[in-house]
Structure 1
Amino acid sequence: MIDVEPERFEQMVSEALDGLPDDLGALMSNVAVTVEHGAGRPGLLGLYQGVPLTRRTTTYAGALPDRITIYRRAICRICDSDDEVAAQVRRTVVHEVGHHFGIGDARLRQLGW
C-alpha cells in the first residue's frame, strides 16, 4: 500500500482525463469527474452514475450531470508505488468513461480496461 497525497492523486486523475483521445473527450457530455478521498464502496476503484450516452433519448434534458467517482484510498490500497497508482488511475478513469459511453463491464474487461 502507498499513500499518495490528495493533491497529487487529483493531478493523476486530471492527467488521465487529459490523456484521453481528443475525439473521445469531445464526445463526453454532461459528466463530472470527482475524487473521493475515502475508501468508497468495498471492491470499487471507481464508479459511474448516470445515463450512458447510448441510452439518452430526445427526452434527456435538464438532467444533473452524470458522475464518475475515483476512489483514492481504494486505489492506493492495491498499489505499491506512485507509478502503479498512476497506471491504475488511468485504467480506472478509462473504465468509468467507457461506462459513460455505454460499454459494459464484461466488454471493458475484454478490452483490457
Structure 2
Amino acid sequence: MSSIGQPPRFAPTRDEIETLALAALNRLPAPFAEHLDGVLLFVEEFASADILKDMELDDPFELTGLYSGRSIGQEAQTGDLPPTVHLFRRPLLDEWVETGVPLDALITHVVVHEIGHHFGLSDIDMHVLEDMVTL
C-alpha cells in the first residue's frame, strides 16, 4: 500500500534493469570498454530450464547473471555465437530486496562479474574492476 501523496512503487522493468546494466558497462575503464564490441546484453525474467539444467541448479532464483561465449584471447571457432551477458530480472529483484543493496550497485556487481568472464579475469581481478566502476 502506498503512502498518501506518494505514487505506488512497482518493481523495475526489464528496460530499467537494462538501463542500469548499460550504465555500468559505460563506466568500465578504457582498456576494458574497448573490447566490448559485439558483446550482447539480454535481460530476461529467469534463466531457461536448459541453462539451469546445464548449471545443475534446481532453483531459478539462484542465478542472477550468466556470461556465454569465449573469453578474449581464446581462438574463435566456426559457428561461434557472439559473446553474451544475460541478466535475470526476477532473481536480481529478489536479491535486491533480501540484501538491501542498492539496485544499481547490485546490477553493477553482476555485470562486472559476467564481463569479467569475457576477459578471463579471476575473482580478485573482478573485485578490483568492480571498485573502478562503482558509483
TM-score where L is the length of structure 1: 0.76
Task: Return the alpha-carbon distance in structure 2 between the equivalents of residues 11 and 108 of structure 1.
Answer: 25
Secondary structure (helix, strand or coil) at the match of 2:102 reads helix
Higher mean Cα deviation, 62-71 or 92-101? 62-71
Q: Hey, what does 1:17 align to over in structure 2?
A: 25
Structure 1: 4+ residue segments shifted above 6 A: none
User: What is the CA RMSD across the aligned residues, in angstroms?
Assistant: 2.8
Contact 1:45–1:70 under 8 Å retained in 2:
yes
Alignment of 1:1-113 (within 5 A): 3-36=11-44, 38-40=45-47, 41-54=60-73, 56-57=74-75, 60=77, 63-80=80-97, 84-104=102-122, 106-107=123-124, 111=128
Contact 1:4–1:82 under 8 Å retained in 2:
no
The number of equivalent residue pairs is 108
Shift of 1:34: 1.2
Secondary structure (helix, strand or coil) at the match of 1:78 reads helix
Instruction: Flag structure 2 segments of 5+ consecutive residues without an equivalent.
Output: 1-9, 48-59, 131-135
Structure showing greater radius of gyration is 2
